[in-house]
């Protein structure tokens, strides 16, 4: 009998293969399966005794860390128990267009009470994250975000692998979230919170032992805040940026570990404080607003090891194609507008309008002199750029505004090749690059993922006020 059923199975398989050839997509067996439920929930950022805040969550704040292996087929079902439609975007993962989560561009929003199954192949190892892409400023601002760890076949050997989802919240005195859709946020630096959390906790304590080696995966899930962290009592190595390996380099004592909204940095921390000592991790990005992010508490136990371990090895490259700079097609994108930006007028749907009229429609940021209309079900608009599949591109991005803009491209990871006209010695592979006021950067990539891909500022209030469009790869 066992032979017979095995034979049955084999026949079944070959029939299926034939149908697949005839154009029916083959169903992939999922090697990782998970179910997320988005719903309202109460949390406290200040421990058990603190004020309660009503947030939106994927079951926990932040959502559960999705951990799978490089090369696995992943299937994640999202059930929407929120009062509003939603989607999930898998930030930084280079996946099929239909799974990318941008409403109307990639999929229909998932209505309240409905579910959607995302499935994709995890091509790249590293640290990524997930968040909604419908009314992102509000939905991410209400707490919808979570970490993704795609495990390398050969990781760096550490004593502990930790994820820090850093976020901020704008709370009123009673602990409730301040209202969204603040026009001042949209025209200035975005929604800055007044409470910063790590994994949903304000100023958490991390217990460590002297000599311990920790891999710390920093993910910036804040709507608008850039973090510039200082880690005392540790030797700090940068080993990956936006999921992709870099040559391990030690962070100098007074250097800040910067991570902009949407971005990720993987660090190796060799903890070298004294047993019993308590030190603090501080954010120093905004000079006048430095504050304590976390406390690091050394146990009184003897050191885990005597002396520092060897420098961390470089992680294996992800399969990101290397652009051919000599043959690349070049395009410029000039970002303008916002408060104190000096922009008077811009083109909107073929008509030149004054900034006042545009602001009346909620649009304050322009790209190459044009305001990008929001993508709707009836009209997604036209691509900012159409690219040929397989070809190399260099995009040169200039920030002519008074604010920071972390610019994010979907579906691709790009090589950052220059900042302010200066070539980087070695390009850095990223998906979100912070461009400060008056700064310009050049990014290069091969347009190898077909479809329409969002390109936007990850200050989510900016994206919703016009700093979001898309590019097309055909």
Contact residues: Cu ion, CB under 5 A: 405, 457, 459, 462
Shortest distance, CB of residue 414 to Cu ion, whole angstroms?
17
Binding piece for ligand C2O, criterion CB under 6 A, among 20-28, 181-189, 285-293, 452-460 = 452-460
* Residues in 306-365 that interact with ligand C2O by CB under 6 A: none
For 93, residues 6+ apart whose C-beta sits below 8 A from its C-beta are 120, 122, 123, 124, 128, 148, 150
- Asked if 229 and 159 touch (Cβ cutoff 8 Å), the reply is no
Shortest distance, CB of residue 373 to Cu ion, whole angstroms?
18
Return contacts of 420-427, CB within 8 angstroms, 24+ apart.
426/246, 426/247
* Residues in 129-188 that interact with ligand C2O by CB under 6 A: 131, 133
Q: Which helix (H) or strand (E) holds 147?
A: strand 146-151
User: Which residues make beta-bridge pairs with 296?
Assistant: 206, 279
The residue (of 133 and 238) whose beta carbon lies closer to ligand C2O is 133
The correct pick among 53, 61, 91, 126 for binding ligand C2O (CB under 6 A) is 91
Q: How is residue 370 written in tokens? A: 């044009």
Q: How is residue 122 written in tokens? A: 């995890």
Q: How is residue 419 written in tokens? A: 């900042």
Shortest distance, CB of residue 131 to ligand C2O, whole angstroms?
6
Q: Say how far apart CA 118 and CA 75 lie, in whole Å.
A: 6
Binding piece for ligand C2O, criterion CB under 6 A, among 183-191, 239-247, 355-363, 451-459 = 451-459
Shortest distance, CB of residue 9 to ligand C2O, whole angstroms?
42
The residue (of 415 and 462) whose beta carbon lies closer to Cu ion is 462
User: Binding to ligand C2O by residue 262, rule CB under 6 A?
Assistant: yes
Choose the one of ligand C2O, Cu ion, none that binds residue 454, judging by a C-beta under 5 to 8 angstroms depending on kind: ligand C2O
CA angle 154, 155, 158 (to 5 degrees): 140
Q: How is residue 189 written in tokens? A: 């630096």
Closest chain position to ligand C2O (CB): 91
Tell me which DSSP letter residue 44 carries. Answer: -
Choose the one of Cu ion, ligand C2O, none that binds residue 457, judging by a C-beta under 5 to 8 angstroms depending on kind: Cu ion
Q: Say how far apart CA 368 and CA 206 lie, in whole Å.
A: 46
First and final C-alpha spacing in the chain: 51
User: Binding to ligand C2O by residue 94, rule CB under 6 A?
Assistant: no
- Total residues contacting ligand C2O (rule CB under 6 A)? 10
The residue (of 293 and 467) whose beta carbon lies closer to ligand C2O is 467
Shortest distance, CB of residue 468 to ligand C2O, whole angstroms?
8
Choose the one of Cu ion, ligand C2O, none that binds residue 262, judging by a C-beta under 5 to 8 angstroms depending on kind: ligand C2O
Choose the one of Cu ion, ligand C2O, none that binds residue 408, judging by a C-beta under 5 to 8 angstroms depending on kind: ligand C2O
The residue (of 56 and 231) whose beta carbon lies closer to ligand C2O is 56
The correct pick among 454, 457, 459, 471 for binding ligand C2O (CB under 6 A) is 454
Pairing of strands 414-419, 440-446: antiparallel
Pairing of strands 291-298, 205-208: parallel
Choose the one of Cu ion, ligand C2O, none that binds residue 238, judging by a C-beta under 5 to 8 angstroms depending on kind: none
Q: Say how far apart CA 167 and CA 172 lie, in whole Å.
A: 17
The correct pick among 217, 456, 465, 467 for binding ligand C2O (CB under 6 A) is 456
Shortest distance, CB of residue 408 to ligand C2O, whole angstroms?
5
User: Binding to ligand C2O by residue 408, rule CB under 6 A?
Assistant: yes
The single residue listed with the structure tokens 């190459």 is 368
Binding piece for ligand C2O, criterion CB under 6 A, among 241-249, 278-286, 314-322, 454-462 = 454-462
- Asked if 429 and 320 touch (Cβ cutoff 8 Å), the reply is yes
The correct pick among 45, 55, 61, 89 for binding ligand C2O (CB under 6 A) is 89
- Report the 3 state secondary structure along 354-373: EHHHHHHCCCCEEECCECCC
The residue (of 133 and 213) whose beta carbon lies closer to ligand C2O is 133
User: Binding to ligand C2O by residue 191, rule CB under 6 A?
Assistant: no
The residue (of 243 and 338) whose beta carbon lies closer to Cu ion is 338
User: Binding to ligand C2O by residue 412, rule CB under 6 A?
Assistant: no
> Residues 419, 184, 468, 350: is their CA dihedral positive or negative?
negative
Instruction: Let me know how long the chain is.
Output: 474
For 293, residues 6+ apart whose C-beta sits below 8 A from its C-beta are 166, 196, 198, 203, 227, 229, 280, 281, 282, 283
User: Binding to ligand C2O by residue 62, rule CB under 6 A?
Assistant: no
Tell me which DSSP letter residue 97 carries. Answer: G
Exposure of 79 by Cβ count < 10 A (0-12 exposed, 13-18 middle, 19+ buried)?
Answer: middle
The residue (of 94 and 462) whose beta carbon lies closer to Cu ion is 462
The residue (of 358 and 454) whose beta carbon lies closer to ligand C2O is 454
Shortest distance, CB of residue 172 to Cu ion, whole angstroms?
25
Shortest distance, CB of residue 102 to ligand C2O, whole angstroms?
7
Q: By 3-state DSSP, what share of the chain in percent is helix, strand and coil, each rounded to 5?
A: 10, 45, 45
Q: Which residues bind ligand C2O (CB under 6 A)?
A: 89, 91, 131, 133, 262, 408, 410, 454, 456, 458
């Amino acid at each position: 009998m066992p032979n017979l059923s095995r034979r049955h199975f084999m026949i079944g398989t070959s029939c299926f293969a034939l149908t697949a050839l005839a154009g029916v997509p083959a169903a992939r067996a999922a090697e990782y399966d998970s179910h997320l439920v988005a719903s309202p929930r109460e949390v406290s950022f200040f421990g058990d005794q603190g004020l309660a805040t009503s947030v939106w969550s994927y079951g926990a704040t932040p959502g559960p860390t999705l951990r799978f292996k490089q090369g696995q087929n992943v299937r994640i079902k999202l059930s929407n128990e929120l009062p509003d439609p939603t989607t999930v975007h898998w930030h930084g993962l280079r996946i099929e267009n239909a799974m990318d989560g941008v409403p109307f561009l990639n999929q229909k929003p998932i209505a309240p009470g409905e579910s959607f199954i995302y499935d994709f192949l995890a091509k790249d190892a590293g640290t990524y994250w997930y968040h909604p892409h419908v009314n992102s400023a509000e939905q991410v601002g209400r707490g919808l975000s979570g970490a993704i760890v795609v495990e390398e076949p050969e990781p760096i050997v550490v004593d502990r692998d930790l994820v820090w989802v850093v976020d901020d919240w704008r709370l009123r005195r009673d602990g409730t979230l301040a209202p969204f859709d603040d026009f001042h946020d949209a025209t200035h630096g975005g929604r800055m919170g007044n409470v910063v959390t790590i994994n949903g906790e304000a100023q958490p304590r991390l217990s460590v032992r002297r000599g311990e080696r920790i891999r710390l995966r920093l993910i910036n899930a804040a709507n608008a805040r850039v973090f510039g962290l200082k880690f005392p009592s540790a030797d700090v190595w940068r080993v990956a940026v936006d999921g992709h390996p870099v040559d391990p380099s030690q962070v100098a004592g007074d250097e800040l570990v910067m991570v902009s909204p949407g971005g990720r940095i993987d660090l190796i921390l060799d903890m070298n404080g004294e047993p019993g000592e308590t030190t603090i991790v501080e954010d120093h990005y905004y000079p006048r607003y430095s504050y304590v992010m976390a406390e690091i508490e050394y146990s009184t136990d003897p050191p885990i090891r005597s002396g520092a371990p060897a420098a961390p090895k470089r992680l294996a490259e992800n399969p990101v194609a290397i652009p051919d700079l000599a043959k690349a097609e070049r395009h410029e994108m000039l970002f303008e507008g916002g408060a104190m930006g000096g922009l008077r007028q811009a083109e909107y749907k073929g008509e030149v309008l004054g900034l006042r009229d545009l602001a009346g429609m909620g649009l304050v940021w322009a790209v190459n002199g044009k305001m990008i209309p929001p993508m709707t079900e009836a009209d997604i608009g036209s691509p900012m750029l159409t690219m040929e599949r397989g070809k190399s591109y260099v995009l040169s991005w200039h920030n002519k505004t008074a604010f920071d803009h972390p610019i994010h491209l979907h579906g691709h990871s790009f090589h950052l090749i220059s900042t302010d006209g200066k070539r980087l010695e070695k390009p850095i592979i990223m998906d979100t690059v912070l461009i400060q006021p008056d700064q310009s950067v050049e990014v290069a990539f091969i347009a190898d993922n077909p479809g329409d891909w969002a390109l936007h500022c990850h200050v989510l209030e900016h994206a919703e006020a016009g700093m979001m469009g898309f590019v097309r790869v055909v």
